[in-house]
């Protein structure tokens, strides 16, 4: 049994003016525990849609997505939030940090929702921010940080919460090549040290080269 199984998944968006839009056409693939994998393809190919389905942010029109053998497409809406909170970390292209919170407060946020006590949250957050090279910046707000620093906060937030899998949507899209390379090396280290599974959506050759496993997607179908 694979860690994550995507079985014959279709996604069609609702009709607009009588026209429906197919986004995924029968996707089947497996992600193993500890993978450092990429879903690669051009803009509009369906890779972000697939990542959102795997992360239970959306539901497929047809097909099943199994997480450790459990079909997450059948989980009731109220339980989905708890599932995402406990099992999945997200790194969005737009960072999705809270501008009124400092770096360390953003890093703590998911653990706060998980119910961890303040001392444990603070210790974990300080340790991970130092680990990602943001020790001197942990009390700065996102507007006082560069894009690369903000993305590292987003990665730290995803890792520190104890997620089993981290889904990263075009994580290098807004970064220069040096910053992007450093961020990928950091995530690779976390993958090896902590056994966290990483799955990226990307069209960045650097990400593709660093991935241990790659799936090519085009027009909503896996082509390799």
Q: What are the tokens at 86?
A: 């406990």
Return the higher-pLDDT residue of 19 and 140. 140
Q: Phi and psi at residue 147, in whole multiples of 5°? A: -60, -40
d(CA 47, CA 167): 12
d(CA 61, CA 10): 6
Is 17's pLDDT higher than 70? no
CA 45 → CA 22, 85, 143, distances in Å?
11, 28, 32
What's the confidence (pLDDT) of residue 6? 97
Which tens digits make up the pLDDT trace of 39-84?
999 988 999 999 999 999 999 999 999 999 999 999 998 899 889 9
**Domains of the chain (ranges, CATH numbers):** 33-46+76-218 (3.40.50.300)
d(CA 205, CA 83): 32
Long-range residue pairs from 19-24, CB within 8 A, at least 24 positions apart, any chain:
22/220, 23/49, 23/220, 24/49, 24/50, 24/53, 24/60, 24/220, 24/221
Q: What is the pTM of this model?
A: 0.89
């Amino acid at each position: 049994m694979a860690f994550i199984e995507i079985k014959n998944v279709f996604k069609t968006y609702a009709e607009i003016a009588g026209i429906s839009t197919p986004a995924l056409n029968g996707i089947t693939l497996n992600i193993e525990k500890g993978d450092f994998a990429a879903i690669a393809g051009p803009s509009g190919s369906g890779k972000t849609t697939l990542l959102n389905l795997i992360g239970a942010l959306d539901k497929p029109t047809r097909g099943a997505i199994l997480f450790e053998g459990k079909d997450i497409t059948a989980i009731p809406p109220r339980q989905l939030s708890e599932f995402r909170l406990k099992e999945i970390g997200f790194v969005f292209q737009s960072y999705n940090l809270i501008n009124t919170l400092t770096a360390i407060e953003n890093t703590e946020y998911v653990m706060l929702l998980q119910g961890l006590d303040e001392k444990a949250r603070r210790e974990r957050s300080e340790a991970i921010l130092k680990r990602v090279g943001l020790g001197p910046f942990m009390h700065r707000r996102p507007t006082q940080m560069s894009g690369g620093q903000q993305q590292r906060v987003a990665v730290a937030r995803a890792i520190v919460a104890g997620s089993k899998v981290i889904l990263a949507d075009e994580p290098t899209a807004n970064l220069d090549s040096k910053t992007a390379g450093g961020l990928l090396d950091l995530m690779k280290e976390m993958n090896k040290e902590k056994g966290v599974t990483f799955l990226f959506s990307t069209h960045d050759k650097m990400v593709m080269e660093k991935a241990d496993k790659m799936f090519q997607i085009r027009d909503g179908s896996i082509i390799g």
